[in-house]
Amino acid sequence: MEFEENTLETPAETAETSEPQQEARRELYEFVKMVLVFLVVFWCLKTFVIEGYEVQGPSMLPNLHDRERILVLKAPHQLSKLALFEGLFTPFKPGDIVVFDGIGNKRYVKRVIALNPKKAENGVNAVRKDELTALDDVVQVEYDKGRVRVNDWQVDETGYLDPVEMQSPDRDLCLLHPGEYYVMGDHRSVSKDSRSFRAVKDDQIVGRAVLRFWPLSKFGLL
């Protein structure tokens, strides 16, 4: 009759066996932690700092073409919404290219032509007025045959607009209340902009386009 020999592992042998398992668990933990940190940082950057956007359509020709990719800076606009910074600075100025939310969760890219900040420079809250009242706290934008006038001052658009687009027969008159922007596409003859959907609200704006990164042949600041 044969008998099986029973063997017992010594504490040293048990420790040697468990060490690789503990090391594997530590490595897995560090990997998961690294992935979670990366995802949180990526989410914060995309939500509050900067985000990529693909241009759709010809409305910004000749300066931006269909399917070109741009980076949109969000941070200044996000900061301006905080009570601590409200009224201290304006994140956008006329001539800036901005991306904003439109109808049906669709985003648009247009150029800021005129704006009316939420707070006046003297720190006094501007009061909304309708078109039948005095124009002290509103900004008047007039588009007439390709020319834009803001509060009766003609806007110089020669730096970014094709002269052909300055010969449009269209006309429009819009009053901007505090926190509103008048935006237009550079390709005026095809662009759907504030001439059709009126002013854009401050809370619709995502951020300012600062860089074109695709195609690489056109890489550069905007």
Q: What residue ranges define each of the domains in the chain, with the CATH number in brackets?
A: 49-221 (2.10.109.10)
According to the model, what pLDDT value does residue 27 have?
86
Which of 214, 199, 219, 216 minimizes the C-alpha distance to 98? 199
Which of 79, 108, 107, 105 minimizes the C-alpha distance to 92? 79
According to the model, what pLDDT value does residue 47 have?
83
Spatial distance between the Cα atoms of 59 and 110, rounded to a whole number of angstroms: 8
Q: Could you report the average pLDDT of every consecutive run of 10 residues in the chain (222 residues)?
A: 52 61 85 92 87 95 96 91 76 95 90 84 39 66 92 91 79 93 94 93 95 96 94
According to the model, what pLDDT value does residue 21 have?
82
According to the model, what pLDDT value does residue 98 have?
98
Report the predicted TM-score, pTM, of the whole model to 2 decimal places: 0.78
According to the model, what pLDDT value does residue 48 have?
86
Q: Residue 170 burial (CB < 10 Å; 0-12/13-18/19+)?
A: exposed
According to the model, what pLDDT value does residue 123 have?
40
Q: Cβ atoms within 10 A of the Cβ of 112, count?
A: 21
With H, G, I as helix, E, B as strand and everything else as coil, classify residue 113. strand
According to the model, what pLDDT value does residue 44 have?
86
According to the model, what pLDDT value does residue 121 have?
45
